[in-house]
Structure 1
Amino acid sequence: MSSTANAQKPRLAEAIASLGDTVSRLSHLSKRSYQNPYITLQQWPEEVRPEEDWFSSPEYVSLYGTPSWEALDEPTRRRLAFHEAVNFYSLNIHGEKGLMQGLAQRLYRKDLVDVSEYLHHFLDEENKHSIYFGGFCTRYAKVYRSRQFALEETRSQSVEDFLFFAKTMIFEEIVDRYNWVQARDARLHPVARFINDNHHVEESRHLVFGRQLVTALWEACVPSWGDDTVADLRRQLEQFFVVSWREYYNPDVYADAGLDDPWEVAEQAWSAPAQRAHRRAVSTKVLAFLTEAGILDKEPADAF
């Protein structure tokens, strides 16, 4: 083992141990609010009416503020909002599959044992979220495919851990803003409001844990990573912003909503000034955290 790695180990152990109070507090809250997803939402509607009810807040539909949105009649806007809700839930299903796998791999690992108690709750709650998201998609529509792919790279364990938890935090910060807004939107169908509210309540704990763990990993490891590694990490996180946001502009959604030229619609929506401003506004909180912590040194321009 290199002298750099040897120097990193005690800093990392101290950083993980410093999360003890947070782990205990969040674990207590998870136990106190424990729920059974098979009875909490006791009855799913037999059917839904995509052209009559809102399932996404219109201001959070990916075409909002664009010429394409202005050209749609009201029933088509609602139908599009329904398919965007299905896409949003599908993004969470795919994201949570990878998250659950990564959490399971890190359970009781010797250097992370001080946070294992909360990793159990984290994993349990992500599984429950998938039950709600999947329940909606499979009852009323389908699970949209994900176009993300990951290249296998050989990295040090500390870099892998940092990227895993940092990407998780970015994904969940964006999702949580959608959840928070839509849980409070009285226009939405009650099932859509429930799914968004339930996810927000539990994700708020995950985000507290994620911010503290990402900060601890960064501060403990960055002194020994070197400039090239830091630059590569920043590049990967900037790229992750882009690929994460891109999936909110899904040509399959536009096709299912009955729109012509769905790929062209996706490109026009991605580039629209109103949507660029929307992505920046939703990302403001997590960008502020990452820049204040020194993790990012500039805004990921390609995303906005």
Structure 2
Amino acid sequence: MASSTARPRTQDDRPPGGDVARRLLDSAAKLAYDPAVEVDWETPLDKRFHGASPEWSTLYGTAYWDEMTEEQRRELTRQEAASVACTGIWFEMILQQMVLRDIYTKDPTGAEVQWALTEIADECRHSIMFARGAAKLEAPPYRPHRFALELGRAFKTLAFGEVAYAAILVAEEVLDVMQRDWMRDERVVPFVRTINNIHVVEESRHMKFARDETRRRLAGAGPLRRRINALVIAIASYVIVTSMVNRKVYANAGLDERRAVREAKANEHHKAMMRSSCSGLMEFLASARLLTGPALVFYKRAHLI
């Protein structure tokens, strides 16, 4: 009679991506943060500081920026940083649902599922951290516009495989570059610098996994599937990036909203900052053959390329 005891998992039995997941689990065990403890939530907001590096403001380099007082500039960057944080919460909620759905039927004793659960736990802490950070910046709870919210609702329900992981990668990579600047900038209020440092360190693991999963899921994909998914990823990227700064930040900073929106849309400096921040991401998407002609239309509209 055959033994009823399950045999040990061998190297050949392990799911693809398991080696990467095991290394990321080891990394998370060695270096992880608790924002409730690490971030200084008690010290009152010091309004002598910016909320983000001024060069990342959507109005930096415009005629309007030149007319603003230093106080207005600092208030604007605080409102913009809060808007980016709120958009981050929105997408992290989408991310968590996609990852949970992806691992729903997989082996929970495997490293891949355990890493996915670790990533979800990270994102829960990040969302709370961003929410508390936005509140401390004295900003309202910014939300993407209704159309983006409904597209997100559909995307989190329908996206799977390389579409889900590549979209996750886009959102994380765009945030990563700007936050690396903010966390080193002494003009930025200290508690925001701490938030950015925590996010950069922990998201570096998430980006590694997203890149690995995107490559793995695309292995053997036919040309039609690749073209369709490239377009879906590009549309999702466009919605994410264009939702980062809510137009209400300008009025809340005491500015003329219509003029600010008009000048922000024409701001070549900010467009150049976005393109430079996404050079590595675009190289990856190109190597994965996801920069098709139709996809490029949306990346160019979002000023990512």
TM-score tier after normalising by the smaller chain length: 0.7 to 0.9
CA distance in 2, matches of 1:105, 1:210: 15
CA distance in 1, matches of 2:36, 2:134: 16
CA distance in 1, matches of 2:230, 2:262: 26
The aligned amino acid for 1:209 is F
The aligned amino acid for 1:167 is A
Q: Identical aligned pairs, as a percentage?
A: 26
**Alpha carbons 1:218, 1:295 under 8 Å: kept:** no
Change (3 A) 1:183 1:28: same
**Alpha carbons 2:227, 2:290 under 8 Å: kept:** no
1:86 aligned onto 2:86: no
**Alpha carbons 1:245, 1:303 under 8 Å: kept:** yes
1:244 aligned onto 2:240: yes
CA distance in 2, matches of 1:150, 1:256: 25
CA RMSD of aligned residues (A): 2.5
CA apart distance, 1:137: 2.0
Deviations 1:166-197 (A, max 9, x none): 11110000011111111111221110110000
Structure 1: which 5+ residue stretches go unaligned? 1-13
Q: Counterpart of 1:191 in 2: which secondary structure?
A: helix
CA distance in 2, matches of 1:252, 1:293: 37
Change (3 A) 1:45 1:109: same
CA distance in 2, matches of 1:156, 1:133: 24
The residue correspondences of 1:205-216 to structure 2 (distance < 5 A) are: 205-216=205-216
Counterpart selection for 1:235 from 222, 231, 234: 231
What residue in structure 2 maps to residue 99 of structure 1? 95
What residue in structure 1 maps to residue 142 of structure 2? 144
**Alpha carbons 1:250, 1:266 under 8 Å: kept:** no
CA distance in 1, matches of 2:166, 2:63: 35
The aligned amino acid for 1:303 is A
Change (3 A) 1:131 1:161: same
What residue in structure 2 maps to residue 184 of structure 1? 184
Structure 2: which 5+ residue stretches go unaligned? 1-11
**Alpha carbons 2:182, 2:196 under 8 Å: kept:** yes
The residue correspondences of 1:149-160 to structure 2 (distance < 5 A) are: 149-151=149-151, 160=160
Change (3 A) 1:230 1:274: same
CA apart distance, 1:297: 2.9
Number of aligned residue pairs: 282
Change (3 A) 1:254 1:155: closer
The aligned amino acid for 1:302 is R
CA distance in 1, matches of 2:246, 2:259: 11
1:124 aligned onto 2:118: no
CA distance in 2, matches of 1:184, 1:210: 25
CA apart distance, 1:209: 0.8
Counterpart selection for 1:276 from 271, 276, 292: 271
CA distance in 2, matches of 1:136, 1:244: 20
The residue correspondences of 1:23-172 to structure 2 (distance < 5 A) are: 23-41=21-39, 43-50=40-47, 52-110=48-106, 115-139=112-136, 140-147=138-145, 148-151=148-151, 160-172=160-172
Change (3 A) 1:90 1:80: same
Change (3 A) 1:156 1:265: closer
Q: Counterpart of 1:149 in 2: which secondary structure?
A: helix
CA distance in 2, matches of 1:249, 1:189: 19
**Alpha carbons 1:62, 1:248 under 8 Å: kept:** no
TM-score where L is the length of structure 1: 0.84
Tell which deviates more after alignment, 291-300 or 60-69: 291-300
**Alpha carbons 1:89, 1:137 under 8 Å: kept:** yes
Q: Counterpart of 2:213 in 1: which secondary structure?
A: helix
TM-score where L is the length of structure 2: 0.84
**Alpha carbons 1:107, 1:116 under 8 Å: kept:** yes
CA distance in 2, matches of 1:205, 1:36: 16
CA distance in 2, matches of 1:153, 1:107: 19
**Alpha carbons 2:102, 2:160 under 8 Å: kept:** no
What residue in structure 1 maps to residue 8 of structure 2? none
Deviations 1:121-153 (A, max 9, x none): 100111111121111223433321122234476
